A and B are shown apart, each in its own frame.
Chain A
């Protein structure tokens, strides 16, 4: 049961807005697969069907529904000239801090943020403090954002034309790789407190990314992390990957990241 409104929704994602007490919206209840038409009884013998069994060729992508919704999101973003970026990483590699530091870099470009986490509005609260429109998607038990969550979340944001939409996915290097959200590019973040072999351990994620941010470079003197080796591994998994080293904390390397962002924004 939902602990906010007391409805019987279980396991579905919920949208929350910092600064708007009591605002919460359940996603996807209407299309859950458990809500199929009950024009048949489960558990009856089906004896009258005997002999009518037939095989039908389907040849359909399992994620077709998500992919179609993602394409719809992509078209919507393109029509409004919104650059949508999907930020992916392990928990704790600094996605939210990078977003906090990116917003002030982009003078003149409106920014909006979708935050994905299983629980809490902590990350959205941090973005809200910057005065940026933000919506939190709480996935409950879900380990990734999907295209429907983003479609619903974006409806609640007043996106400006020629703007940046940052979608911070649930911290997880596995599952989010499979779900297209309709983004223009994927930004994978790794920090120097992790292992340099992360690109080899989670190749699907690094293979699907467009740019990799190596964060927390200010800690390099204190940890056994070979940044060059990490870059090499990442490029071996995805030789089209762009690579930017930065420290969101000290600001080192943020100029290159700003350059990357503004060059993409100027193409809108």
Chain B
């Protein structure tokens, strides 16, 4: 379950940033999780509290913004929303999709004190 590694990476990133800002406590974290990021938001929430224990992020409120994905057809150029990597173009029907967005996995902001 890679969500545990991901949760630990989140904790490490936000703790580092809080330290740089001269703060010792993170009370809120906003994450952006794209639909194609390979991360389940629920699993990540579940792992986060364990990963944050005994760190400056312990008890922080985790807000996850899930982003939809979109792609463009390499064959005809049509743009359309994606629900996964296995997708055909709604215009020409070919499976030649290039992902434009939806792979994001980022810390958007933190609230510190």
Q: Which residues of A contact B36 (CB under 8 A)?
A: 204
Question: Nearest Cβ in chain A — how far from B17, in angstroms?
Answer: 6
Provide the bound-state CA to CA distance between A129 and B55, in Å: 45
CB closest residue in chain B, given A41: B24
* Size range of the chain A interface in the assembly: 35 or more
Cβ 8 A contact of B15, one of A33, A55, A174, A200: A33
Q: How far is the CB of A156 from chain B (nearest CB, A)?
A: 23
B76 within 8 A of A: no
Chain A residues contacting B47 (CB-CB under 8 Å) are none
Is A56 a contact partner of B109 (Cβ separation < 8 A)? yes
- Hey, what's the 0/1 contact readout for A196-209 against B, CB within 8 Å counting as 1? 00011001101100
For B110, what are the chain A residues with a Cβ–Cβ distance below 8 Å?
55-56, 58
Give Cα A175 to B39, complex, Å.
9
Distance between Cα atoms of A60 and B104 in the complex (Å): 10
- From A34, A52, A62, A200, give the contact of B86 (CB < 8 A): A200
Chain B residue numbers with a CB within 8 Å of A54 are 111-113
B95 near A58: Cβ-Cβ < 8 Å: no
Smallest CB separation, A71 vs chain B (Å): 16
- Report how far A203 CA is from B10 CA in the complex, Å: 24
Complexed CA–CA distance, A46 and B50 (Å): 21
- Could you pull out 25 A-B pairs where Cβ atoms are within 8 angstroms? A34-B55, A39-B24, A49-B25, A49-B113, A54-B112, A55-B111, A56-B21, A58-B17, A58-B109, A58-B110, A59-B109, A60-B106, A62-B10, A63-B6, A64-B13, A65-B13, A143-B1, A143-B2, A146-B5, A175-B2, A179-B5, A200-B86, A207-B85, A233-B86, A236-B88
